[in-house]
Amino acid sequence: METAETLRAWLADRGIACDVHDGYGLALVSVWVGLVVWCDGDRFWWRTGWSVQRGRFVYAWHPATDPERAAHRIALIYADLRERHMPSWLVPENAGVHHGPR
pTM attached to this predicted model = 0.79
Amino acid letter, 100: G
Checking if the pLDDT of 8 tops 80, the result is yes
pLDDT of residue 83: 83
Q: How far apart are CA 26 and CA 4, in angstroms?
A: 9
pLDDT, the chain, mean: 87
Checking if the pLDDT of 101 tops 60, the result is no
CA count, 13 A, side-chain hemisphere, 70: 27
What does the pLDDT look like over 33-58, one tens digit per residue?
A: 889 999 999 999 999 999 999 999 99
Q: How far apart are CA 79 and CA 85, in angstroms?
A: 10
